[in-house]
């Protein structure tokens, strides 16, 4: 029923756009000077809607229309990297807010001095996974460290994971006997923030060794449900990664994915620049990017990927 409703909305949206275009054409044929301002405004609105729909058409993957789980992990670099992870968290929350996506922090581990060690965020809304999927990878920051007494330049890394939220279906089967579920008290800043009951949940999937934790809700039941959402997503990613690995080995093109190669660099010193190394798309307004202006990077990646797929299709 969800799929049917989504397809109905998609068809009705295109039909509405087609009708608006026809109405605008009729207005233009009247050649009435008093209608010029209204016609120009409607034409701009139609072009914007068409551009949005063309962009969404690039998101044709199986899970692209659905919700996403976004996880950020601080890399090597101590406090600087943990602060960078928190900067990325803010950037993605701003981006989601700009796109009217709902966000929910499922689990977060704070750094000792500043920033965060890791965070898992549920991003809910149409095409959330499709939009965020290009953000998966290592993000590199170069800046003068605010945590260095000598104010030297530091390079920090953080890993961004993007997973589709999946329902409990045939594609991901979880045997309850394969799970070890532990409960513990949620960590907090002290005082009223510390839970007196064991509400935090840690689930270990014994066959794979995957471990997920959730502690941000006050209810153990809610934390357990959220942990299962994350576990399903990680098991699906593991399954797809294994399939892709086997296919790549058959083709003779398999290379192991390592932490080292960053997808994007954010340089705040000695100059201002954000550059995506996969597409060479760059922006000089680093503050705008850190405030959530990511659409240029996302669109450039999707267009590059479509071009690569088209080229591979012609070769095959």
Between strands 273-276 and 262-267, the pairing is antiparallel
Q: How far, in Å, CA of 152 to CA of 158, rounded?
A: 19
Quote the pTM value.
0.79
Q: How far, in Å, CA of 157 to CA of 75, rounded?
A: 5
Q: What are phi and psi of 142, to 5 degrees?
A: -120, 120
User: Where do the H-state alpha helices sit in 160-291?
Assistant: 220-251, 286-290
**Of 149-163, 193-207, 231-245, 254-268, the least confident:** 254-268
Query: What is each CA distance from 213 to 73, 78, 158, 172, in whole angstroms?
Result: 14, 22, 19, 19
- 2 burial (CB, 10 Å; 0-12 / 13-18 / 19+) is exposed
Structural tokens at position 147: 């945590």
% residues pLDDT > 90 (the chain): 53
Cβ pair 57, 50 in contact under 8 A: no
What per-residue string of b and e applies to 183-211 under the rule 16 or more CB within 10 Å gives b? eeebeeeeeeeebeeebbbbbbbeeeeee
pLDDT above 90 for 316:
no
Q: What pLDDT, on the 0 to 100 scale, is given for residue 240?
A: 84
Cβ pair 134, 127 in contact under 8 A: no
The mean pLDDT of the chain is: 86
Query: Per residue in 195-232, pLDDT tens?
Result: 556 789 999 999 999 999 998 888 899 999 999 999 99
Please give the order of strands across the beta sheet that includes 200-205.
179-184, 200-205, 210-214
Closest CA to 48 of 27, 17, 7, 11: 17
Q: How far, in Å, CA of 244 to CA of 100, rounded?
A: 33
Instruction: Tell which wins on pLDDT, 139 or 149.
Output: 139
């Amino acid at each position: 029923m969800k799929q049917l409703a989504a397809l109905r909305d998609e068809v009705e949206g295109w039909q509405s756009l087609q009708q608006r275009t026809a109405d605008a054409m009729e207005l233009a044929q009247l050649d009435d000077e008093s209608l010029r301002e209204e016609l120009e405004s409607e034409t701009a609105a139609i072009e914007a809607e068409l551009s949005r729909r063309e962009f969404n058409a690039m998101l044709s993957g199986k899970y692209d229309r659905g919700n996403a789980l976004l996880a950020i992990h601080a890399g090597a670099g101590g406090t600087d990297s943990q602060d960078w992870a928190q900067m990325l968290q803010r950037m993605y929350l701003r981006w989601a807010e700009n796109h009217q996506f709902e966000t929910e922090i499922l689990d977060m581990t704070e750094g000792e001095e500043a920033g965060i060690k890791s965070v898992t965020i549920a991003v809910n809304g149409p095409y959330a996974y499709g939009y965020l999927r290009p953000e998966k990878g290592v993000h590199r920051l170069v800046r003068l460290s605010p945590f260095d007494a000598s104010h030297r330049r530091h390079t920090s890394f953080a890993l961004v994971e993007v997973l589709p939220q999946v329902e409990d279906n045939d594609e991901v089967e979880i045997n309850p006997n394969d799970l070890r579920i532990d409960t513990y008290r949620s960590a907090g800043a002290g005082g009223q923030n510390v839970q007196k009951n064991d509400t935090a949940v840690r689930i270990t999937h014994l066959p794979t060794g995957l471990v997920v934790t959730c502690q941000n809700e006050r209810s153990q039941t809610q934390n357990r449900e959220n942990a299962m959402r994350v576990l399903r997503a990680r098991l699906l990613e593991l399954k797809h990664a294994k399939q892709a690995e086997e296919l790549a080995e058959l083709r003779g093109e398999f290379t192991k994915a390592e932490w080292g190669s960053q997808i994007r660099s954010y340089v705040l010193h000695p100059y201002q620049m954000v550059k995506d190394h996969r597409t060479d798309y760059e922006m000089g307004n680093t503050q705008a990017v850190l405030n959530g202006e990511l659409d240029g990077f996302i669109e450039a990646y999707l267009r590059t990927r479509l071009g690569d797929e088209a080229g591979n299709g012609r070769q095959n």
